[in-house]
Structure 1
């Protein structure tokens, strides 16, 4: 794995062609000043060279170009026979001070870049710990996932997903913590850990949902802010997909129903019996309904969070997921999500108002 130090170092290695730019600028300005009439002074323009260098190089290179610019100013004064005059000396000192200021800017910029690279490295590590990458295949299923965090420079937020295997089934979870960005990570981490453990102790979705309700309830009892008492919850969609039967068992705890895609641009939005979101204290195993969907080989289930369908364009229109996804219904999961990802960012102008997550689940032949 490439460290953030290596990435930053490589980003600050200017090519030889770029280094020719300040050198050519210095040479052109020197020649132009020499051949110009005596009443035209072009030496002060030499400050352009270190300023341009700071755009693509680090402090050391910029300082070298600044020193070369000061030396060029001295050469112009020597060539004109006025090197030791007050005017030339002041120009050289001013050029040196400006170059020093530019180098200082480079130092501060690189320090900020190192801090940002460290933050990104930590965020990437946290994402790998919390949101384990879904495998490309589980049992008879082919999987792909996409996560888009609304928080700038963040890799994770309040949306979550996970997958696990039992003896003859694949279990899937996609959820959305109330709120967005970094403050929602605690609940997301708790639910992911509880799901990965509980799925090995329960053989049915109602018992799994009740177990997750207990875990979220205990967490909120200990860590929920007093000002938000009773207002924190998690919507979740739970799926059990057997390896043999061509069905998908689905339970929704306040979450959006998945889209069922079939070859031939067929897109269906199943009607599911909802249960309350996790964390409000109303999810009991006896009150949870399991809906059974036909899920034959060749079909694809598209799971998503509300950050996708509630994404707005500049006119305020929501993203028409079902309408857009019909064009790519027959595509493999990774290709399908690639199209949705690109189209969603185009719709919103490259910026989301909420975290968004998608999972595409395709059933292959047995």
Structure 2
């Protein structure tokens, strides 16, 4: 089932309770708010036609549609204004035309009822919108608590990322990513917890907390991978004690970049889609996931191996979740991510993330069936001096 895509808003764009009604998106043309034009045109049209019609043809009752349209397109006080204007115009028409066939009491009551109900409907719509925005802000706070903002330059690498939520009110699911500066070089993690809901978010938060701690202190990437697997198992055990059925698992890619460029990186792939390495000359896939997902390695009896993969200093690493790899167009065709980056002139992380985001939205027609996380990193050619803070 398709759901409307919403890009999660940054912290600076979050609404407060007092300004939520003002943030209701109007109908705009450029920078101009034109949501009032349709009911205004309808008001003028009814008045003009009724003024010029014969006394045997009265259409003044159609004026009751004016506040109805205002309730749909405008805010509460604008709807009130159109309701008052509607009643005033009915009175002026009756006074000025002095028709032999005056508007009946039942028709007048119909117009008054339409005005009153339109104002009530507008108030309910604004109230519902406020509740939705508050729900979005709560979800946004959850997202920022789980997926903390990543600086554009950190730990000797340049980064860029985006999280696209398929569910309007959720804005966060089981997708997770982070870049951790460490004494052993930058460590990168991206993955996707199976399932939806708060338990998937909880599992993603548990994995990220384990990654941030172990990635900093452990020099061996295999030990970090083992800590992630252990944390996933303990999370499943904890959830089972709460009475929830079904164990979670997570596909993930764990990457380690040495402090100094050595022409390679280390990678552990827990059953995830292959990341891409991108330069101006070529695009290629790194090894695909050959091991079991986190939480299921008991099935194979061992963790996925640590692979040392050639990675030039000028290359960018692009990682993404299955919201990208499983995005389909109207004909059911998957997006060819590699083809999107062949011949790319700008391989900076920000450009790659923006390009893939646009490609996914274009391919899926702006509607995704799954949350999507995209992360790109590359070595910073001129890293600023910075200390590594213990977290």
Q: TM-score, normalised by structure 1?
A: 0.88
Mark the runs of 5 or more structure 2 residues left unpaired by the alignment: 1-11, 383-391
3-state SS, counterpart of residue 352 of structure 2? helix
CA distance in 2, matches of 1:285, 1:360: 32
Deviation at 1:119, TM superposition (A): 0.9
Mapped pair 1:218 → 2:253: no
Pick from 46, 49, 53 the counterpart of residue 63 of structure 2: 46
Larger proportion of helix: 1
Say whether the 8 Å CA contact 2:271–2:288 is kept in structure 1: no
Deviation at 1:58, TM superposition (A): 2.4
CA distance in 1, matches of 2:301, 2:256: 16
Say whether the 8 Å CA contact 2:183–2:259 is kept in structure 1: no
Q: Who wins on radius of gyration, i.e. which is larger?
A: 1
> What is residue 8 of structure 1 aligned with on the other side?
21
> What is residue 215 of structure 2 aligned with on the other side?
199
Distance 1:259 1:316, change over 3 A: same
CA distance in 1, matches of 2:34, 2:200: 47
How many equivalent pairs are there?
A: 363
Mark the runs of 5 or more structure 1 residues left unpaired by the alignment: none
3-state SS, counterpart of residue 235 of structure 1? strand
Pick from 249, 252, 255 the counterpart of residue 266 of structure 2: 249
3-state SS, counterpart of residue 142 of structure 2? helix
Mapped pair 1:130 → 2:118: no
Pick from 93, 104, 109 the counterpart of residue 93 of structure 1: 109
Pick from 175, 187, 199 the counterpart of residue 191 of structure 2: 175
Moved more, 330-339 or 28-37: 28-37
CA distance in 2, matches of 1:206, 1:361: 21
Deviation at 1:82, TM superposition (A): 6.0
CA distance in 2, matches of 1:273, 1:90: 73
> What is residue 169 of structure 2 aligned with on the other side?
153
Deviation at 1:24, TM superposition (A): 6.0
Deviation at 1:348, TM superposition (A): 1.4
Mapped pair 1:317 → 2:317: no
3-state SS, counterpart of residue 186 of structure 2? strand
3-state SS, counterpart of residue 274 of structure 1? coil
Distance 1:58 1:310, change over 3 A: closer
CA distance in 2, matches of 1:40, 1:273: 75
Pick from 369, 372, 391 the counterpart of residue 353 of structure 1: 369
> What is residue 344 of structure 2 aligned with on the other side?
328
Mapped pair 1:103 → 2:116: no
Distance 1:81 1:315, change over 3 A: closer
Deviation at 1:18, TM superposition (A): 5.8
Q: TM-score, normalised by structure 2?
A: 0.83
Deviation at 1:134, TM superposition (A): 1.8
Mapped pair 1:343 → 2:339: no
CA distance in 1, matches of 2:328, 2:81: 49
Distance 1:284 1:193, change over 3 A: farther
Distance 1:256 1:64, change over 3 A: closer
Say whether the 8 Å CA contact 1:134–1:143 is kept in structure 2: yes
Deviation at 1:121, TM superposition (A): 0.8
Deviation at 1:354, TM superposition (A): 2.3
Deviation track 1:226-282 (CA, whole Å, cap 9, x = no partner) reads 7754x5211221111112133211111222231111222x11223367333221253
